[in-house]
Amino acid sequence: AESSASPAAQRTTTRDEIMSRAAAWVSSKVPYSMTAYWSDGYRQDCSGFVSMAWDLGTNEWTGSLAAFGTKIARSDLQPGDILLFHNPADPGAGSHVTVFGGWTDSTRSHYVAYEQTRPSTRKATTPMAYWSNSSQYVAYRYKGLTGQTGGSGSATTFPGVGMFGPGADNAFVTQLGKLLIAQGGKRFYQVGAGPRWTDADRQATRAFQLAQGWKGAEADGIPGPDTWELLVKGTGRAIPAGTGGGGGQSPAPAPAFPGRGFFKAGQSNSHVQRLGTQLVRKGYGTHYVSGPDPRWREADRRNVEAFQRAQGWRGSAADGYPGPETWRRLFA
């Protein structure tokens, strides 16, 4: 049955808290299950994941989650909102829900989805609104959300990790760059801060994180709530002077091209999946009807071809099969 909870009875939460809870399951790689429950008491399926992220206190399903939200336009989506598809005729056939983590580029054709799916919780660049049944997904905003500012968000409130990283193009990236420059990161920027995410933003962010004494995943070059708070308040340790931003550590190099033989009919390997994942991240995953996987398919070839044509290549140079130069540019 659908939930009878009223907005007044719902718990309150913030966007930052929603995204932090969602990220915690991603980090824990919670296994997908429609019957098992995680240590926090929430069911390990897609609607249990959203129930947890929204801090509902109950395990809802795709048929009841809408009662906890207000329908919004897709153009109004902000981190912490959800995209919900409920198939009332057969709930088990395609019904799904994701947490919106932010747009990946200015075209708004892809977004960062936090979702509970097989084999475990993931954060992935995803076509708007999903790989299948896209037109039937509805955007909702949690009724118990507090601290909203409307529009594009507050200058001080962390906008969510989905606003940063490859493909991001928004005002928050510009703000991040300006804050990093003010903290000693000017040397990373040749032309100053801008709305399009570049490797300069990643290197400067990582340098700032390393300056705080953080290591490993805490210094990955992508700002989280703690990085953002220190930058906005100006209370963190400044980036030390130097020629590099890694504290003596170089950024991870692009993976070496494995060879053309891995990308052809009948092949199934990790290189194909890595290729597909990067194509989606770069905005060239439109021919996939489901997420990239290790098996080479026609969808892979067509997506590679689209990327090659975007480089201005034609004829045999844009045949859809990756070579060393395609690989280098794709992972640059």
Mean pLDDT of 108-118: 90
Q: Residue 154: which pLDDT band, with cuts at 50, 70 and 90?
A: very low
With a cut of 90, say whether residue 103 has pLDDT above it.
no
pLDDT of residue 160: 77
The sheet that has 138-142: what strands, in order across it?
Answer: 69-72, 138-142, 82-85, 96-103, 110-115, 122-127
Where does the pLDDT of residue 105 fall: very low under 50, low under 70, confident under 90, or very high at 90 and above? low
pLDDT at 190 over 90: no
pLDDT at 9 (0 to 100): 64
Classify the phi-psi angles of 216: left when phi > 0, otherwise alpha if psi is within -120 to 50, otherwise beta.
left
pLDDT of 75 reads: 87
Percent helix, strand and coil across the chain, each to the nearest 5: 35, 15, 50
The dotted CATH code for 164-233 is: 1.10.101
Average pLDDT over residues 182-211: 90
Question: Confidence band (pLDDT; 50, 70, 90) for 247?
Answer: very low
DSSP structure class, residue 255:
P
pLDDT over 90 at 128, yes or no: yes
pLDDT band at 6 (very low <50, low <70, confident <90, very high): very low
User: Which residues is 96 bridged to in the sheet?
Assistant: 85
Contact 270, 293 (CB under 8 A): no
Structure tokens at 286: 């439109």
Right CATH number for 260-330 from 3.30.230.10, 3.40.109.10, 1.10.101.10, 3.40.50.300? 1.10.101.10
Per-domain residue ranges of the chain: 7-142, 164-233, 260-330
pLDDT category of residue 244 using cuts at 50, 70 and 90: very low
The interaxial angle of helices 15-28 and 46-53, nearest 10 deg, is 140
2-6, 15-19, 113-117, 234-238: range with lowest mean pLDDT: 2-6
Per-residue pLDDT at 166: 80
CB 93 within 8 A of CB 21: no
Answer whether 164-233 and 260-330 agree in fold: yes
Per the DSSP assignment, residues forming a β-bridge with 115 are 122
Report which of residues 43 and 164 the model is more confident about.
43
Q: How confident is the model over 297-317, as pLDDT tens digits?
A: 999 999 999 888 887 788 888
Has domain 7-142 been given CATH number 3.10.20.90?
A: no
